[in-house]
Amino acid sequence: DATSYWADGGDGLNQMPTEVSGARKESAERMRKRVKKLCERDKVKRLVSKWSNVQQRVAELGKALETEETQTMGVYRTFTDLYELVSNLAQAKAERERAKAVEAQNLATQAKNLSDKAKRKAEKEEDRVKAAKEKSEKKKKIADDAQATLEQLQDDATHAEETAERVKDQMAQAEAEAFALAAQGANTTDAEANVTRLRRDYILARDKALQKRKEAGVAKETTEQLVEEASEELLAAQKESFKSEELNKVAEKEQRRSREAAGKAFKDALVAGAAAEFAKVQSDEVVAAREEQQLKEGSLSCVSVLERLRSKSIAIILANFMQAPDLSKHRPVKEAAFVGQKDAEGLRAGFGAIQFPEGAEYSGEWSMNLPGGHGVERYADGCGYE
């Protein structure tokens, strides 16, 4: 029947009974071919409809892809602009650090000049103190000699007075003997001559004692004056010594300030160098990003852009931008870094600081390209000496 015929797609024609007539079979064959053509036409219509839907979907996806590529390239340009902004900030910071390093070096030079001036002034004051002490010692020696002379004159005056007293006693005794002889009516010529001689000796002894006592008084006044002058010279020497100590303290303070300024200049120079290198790295990254952007603008696909943005998140870029750059990553320490003064031949001389690759550093005076004079050396383990 027709139902079974259409159900099996026309294959029922081969299952028809053998008693069906040839005309009927031929008519059925024509019907089958017609139905088959209709079925094929229907399939073509369905395929055309599906293809139209596919094309429409492809067009929509193309527009979406173009929109996403435009947005992605905008984000990528923003990403590159941020890199350029970071590079500009790094360069500005490098310039500031370089200016700070130059200023610190100038301050270190000024501090070194002040330290040298204070040191020279202290040395002059020490010479004055030495001269004042020598003068005070001379005055003291003269005063001691005058004191010894005074004591000798006082002893001579006392001895002369004692001699005069003895002569006076002898004269009184001779006068008594002469008076006794005169009372007895004896010859008193020798006794009177003896009295006259003793009186003359007494006068001489008395005058000598008076002269010695006068000389002792003058020597006493001179000695007192010399002692007073020696005391004044000693007090002046003590004042000069105190002033010299104060100047030495000032010189030491200026030297410490000079060393601190040199150390600060050395550190600022290191920071400035690291900042400059970081700025160079950022500049190179900006150039690379610009080149990569130019390449990607022609051939970058949405998927690759999204994968790249996932690997380099803008949030991380902004976070890195807001934070201070880690200069330690861009601070190569390949050789010893020296900051300080040099002579006309380019050798290290004067005051300077150096940092070695292993972490040790020296800050102080230099001579003939080598550390010489006062300085401070520290090692990586924290040990050091001055």
Angle CA(47)–CA(52)–CA(53) in degrees, nearest 5?
100
How large is the C-alpha radius of gyration of the chain?
61
Spatial distance between the Cα atoms of 145 and 157, rounded to a whole number of angstroms: 18
- The SS3 of residue 188 is coil
Q: Per this entry, what is the length of the chain?
A: 386
102 HSE (CA, 13 A, CB side) = 5
Report the chain's mean pLDDT, rounded to a whole number. Answer: 76
* pTM of the complete model: 0.35
- Asked if residue 320 has pLDDT above 70, the reply is no
Q: At what angle do helices 189-299 and 22-184 cross, to 10 degrees?
A: 170
Spatial distance between the Cα atoms of 128 and 268, rounded to a whole number of angstroms: 41
Q: Which of 87, 77, 78, 84 is nearest to 296 (CA)?
A: 77
Q: At what angle do helices 22-184 and 302-311 cross, to 10 degrees?
A: 30
Compute the average pLDDT of residues 118-139: 80
Confidence of residue 24 (pLDDT cuts 50, 70, 90): low
Query: Any bridge partners for residue 371, and if so which?
Result: 366
Spatial distance between the Cα atoms of 375 and 122, rounded to a whole number of angstroms: 20
Q: Which of 89, 15, 22, 31 is nearest to 325 (CA)?
A: 89
**By the 8 A CB rule, do 205 and 167 touch?**
yes
36 HSE (CA, 13 A, CB side) = 11
User: Would you call 323 exposed, middle or buried from its count of C-beta atoms within 10 A (0-12, 13-18, 19+)?
Assistant: exposed
Least trusted range by pLDDT, from 68-82, 104-118, 213-227: 68-82
Spatial distance between the Cα atoms of 241 and 126, rounded to a whole number of angstroms: 7
69 vs 338, residue with greater confidence: 338
Compute the average pLDDT of residues 305-319: 42
**By the 8 A CB rule, do 366 and 349 touch?**
yes
Q: What is the pLDDT of residues 323-339, one digit of tens each?
A: 434 434 434 444 678 88
Token digits for 333? 């320490």
Compute the average pLDDT of residues 341-361: 88
**By the 8 A CB rule, do 234 and 242 touch?**
no
pLDDT on residue 35: 66
pLDDT on residue 22: 67
Token digits for 353? 């600081």
Q: What is the pLDDT of residues 276-296, one digit of tens each?
A: 888 888 788 778 877 776 776
Token digits for 289? 């990003």
- Asked if residue 364 has pLDDT above 90, the reply is yes
124 vs 12, residue with greater confidence: 124
Q: What is the pLDDT of residues 129-169, one digit of tens each?
A: 788 778 778 878 887 888 888 888 888 889 888 888 888 88
- Asked if residue 122 has pLDDT above 80, the reply is no
Query: Any bridge partners for residue 348, and if so which?
Result: 342
pLDDT on residue 61: 80
Least trusted range by pLDDT, from 3-7, 117-121, 364-368, 379-383: 3-7
Least trusted range by pLDDT, from 62-71, 92-101, 330-339, 361-370: 330-339
- Asked if residue 16 has pLDDT above 70, the reply is no
- The SS3 of residue 287 is helix
Q: Which of 121, 88, 32, 132 is nearest to 285 (CA)?
A: 88
